[in-house]
Amino acid sequence: MRRKIFKNVVACLMIMCLFSGLFFNTRVSAAGPDASEKKGSIALTLCDTENRKTVGSILKDPKSTYFKFKTKRTYNVDVTIVVNADVRKKVDIQVWNNKGQLMKSLSQTSTSWTFNSKTSTTKNEFTVKKLKKGTYYIEVKEKGTNANVPYSVKVVPHMREKIKDVTAKQVSSGTKKVKISWTPLSGDAVTGYKVYKVTKKKNGKLKYTLVTTVYGADSKSVEVKAALGTTYTYKVRAFYYLADVDVNLFSKYSEAVTVTTK
C-alpha cells in the first residue's frame, strides 16, 4: 500500500514538473549554441607525401611533418604549437594551401616562441587571416638535435570581425537595469551575441562571466539586471554556431565599457 502511494506521488511530481516547464518557460540546458563557452578546434590529419595532393615547394622537403585541415567557410584561424622541449629558433612552422602557396611562415623566428621553464615546453601562437573555404597544410620542420621531440598542434577558427561601438548605460536613475548596446557585425555570418561581466582576479588576470546571450544577427542591445551603487565592466562578442561540429565560432572580445549605477 505504501509503495503504491509512493509511486502515485512520484508520478504527480513528474507531471507537475512537466507542466511547470510548459507554462513557466523553464529553460533546460542542452547541446546547441549555448551549450559551451569553449572554442571548437578544427580536426587535423597527419599526412605523408602520397596523400598530399599539392604542388610547389610543399612537396620538396620530405623531412617535414605535415598536418591537413579543411575550412568550410572564410574565417581567421589561430594556430598553436606546443613542443616538449626548449626549441626556440629550432623549429619552423608554416601554413600552405593546396596549391603549394605559402600562407604564413614563422621560420627561424626566436622572438615568437615562449618557453615555460616549469613545464619545459615551448609555445608558439599565431593567426592566419581570411582563410577561404578549402584545404590547408601545416608544416612542422624540426632541426638538429630536436628532431622527433613530442609536440602538439591545434587550429581554432574564429570570426574575422570585432564588435565595435559598445556602450553601457543605466536605463534610468534608481532602476536596477543597465542597457548594453553595440553595432551588429556585417561581414560575418552571426548566430547571436554574448555579453560578459569582466572582473579582475587577485593575480591580476581578467575573469569573464557570461551575463546573457542575445540571438539574431541584427541584435544590437540588451538590458541586464544590476545592483544600485555598483560599478560594472562589460565586453561583448559575437558567435556563429557550427551545427556540423556542435561548436561556437567566436569573434574577438569588444573593448571594455564601464558603468556605475545610482
What is the rounded distance in angstroms from the CA atom of residue 113 to the CA atom of residue 122? 6
Q: Parallel, antiparallel, or unpaired: how do β-strands 247-252 and 231-242 relate?
A: antiparallel
* Residue 54 shares a structural domain with residue 149: yes
* Residue 108 shares a structural domain with residue 60: yes
* Residue 49 shares a structural domain with residue 139: yes
Q: What CATH number does the domain containing 153 carry?
A: 2.60.120
pLDDT for the residue 8: 55
Q: Does residue 25 form part of some domain?
A: no
pLDDT for the residue 84: 77
Rounded to a whole number, what is the distance in angstroms from the first to the last CA of the chain?
A: 60
* Residue 110 shares a structural domain with residue 149: yes
Q: Does residue 1 form part of some domain?
A: no
pLDDT for the residue 51: 53
Q: What is the pTM of this model?
A: 0.61
pLDDT for the residue 176: 94
What 3-state DSSP class applies to 152? Answer: strand
Q: Which residue, of 101, 132, 159, is where some domain finishes?
A: 159
Q: What CATH number does the domain containing 205 carry?
A: 2.60.40.10
Q: Which residues of 244-257 are buried (b: 16+ CB within 10 A; e: fewer)?
A: eeebbbbbebbeeb
| Structural domain range at position 134 | 45-159
* Residue 128 shares a structural domain with residue 77: yes
* Residue 133 shares a structural domain with residue 177: no
What is the rounded distance in angstroms from the CA atom of residue 219 to the CA atom of residue 191? 10
Q: Does residue 211 form part of some domain?
A: yes
Q: Which residue, of 159, 180, 210, is where some domain finishes?
A: 159
Q: For CA atoms 208, 211, 215, 221, give the dihedral sign.
A: negative
Q: Which residue, of 126, 159, 192, is where some domain finishes?
A: 159
* Residue 152 shares a structural domain with residue 167: no
Residues in the chain, pLDDT under 50: 6, 9-10, 13-35, 54-57, 59
pLDDT for the residue 142: 66
The DSSP call for residue 42 is: P
Q: Does residue 236 form part of some domain?
A: yes
Give the model confidence (pLDDT) of 72-109 as tens digits.
777 788 888 887 777 665 667 788 888 778 888 776 55
Residue 77: closest CA among 177, 159, 179 = 159
Q: Does residue 14 form part of some domain?
A: no
Domain count of the fold of the chain = 2
